[in-house]
Amino acid sequence: MNSLMQQQENLFAMTQALRTQLIDALSDDDLAFTLPGSNPSLGALCRENGQVQRSYLDSFKTFKQDFHYADVDPALDTSAEKLRAWFAQLDTEMVETLKALDEDTVQGQIIDRTHMQVPVGVQFHLFRESMLIFYGKAAVYLKAMDRPLPGDIALWIG
């Protein structure tokens, strides 16, 4: 196993477990909740998070990051079960992709993000930061719904 996964696999699993805890606490009706203004529904926010993960996942395969998201099933915005299954697939594919990188790639490959170029390890940290930002956004929705933060989200995000 490469050094990135040796060092980060457990942290990745803990970070992604927060999303599982979030989705497990949501109903399909909850996904329809929208904050005032031009904010997306909670379901759309979750779907967008999956699209961001897809972008990062693909960047570890192509070494270029593209934020032009492919079309996805519109039911993802309204179905906690579909989100749960999609996120599980994305997480599995992310782990497999990261584990498949050889050590030379982990140490020397640069990922082109168009506006900046970063090493693989930095890209991984940027991905984790994007997940933490998502959890912060989701926490605002839950608080606006007068709902407790599920699982470890209260500990990690507050």
Give, as one character, the DSSP assignment of residue 41. B
pLDDT at position 20: 97
pLDDT tens, per residue, the chain with 158 residues: 899 999 999 999 999 999 999 999 999 999 999 999 999 999 999 999 999 999 999 999 999 999 887 788 999 999 999 999 999 999 999 999 999 999 999 999 999 999 999 999 999 999 999 999 999 999 999 999 999 999 999 999 98
Cα distances from 153 to residues 15, 18, 73, 158, in angstroms, run 10, 6, 27, 7
In contact, 47 and 72? CB cutoff 8 Å: yes
In contact, 77 and 43? CB cutoff 8 Å: yes
Question: Domain boundaries in the chain?
Answer: 3-156
pLDDT at position 71: 81
pTM: 0.95
Cα distances from 41 to residues 12, 20, 33, 46, in angstroms, run 26, 18, 5, 9
* CATH T-level fold of 3-156: Four Helix Bundle (Hemerythrin (Met), subunit A) (1.20.120)
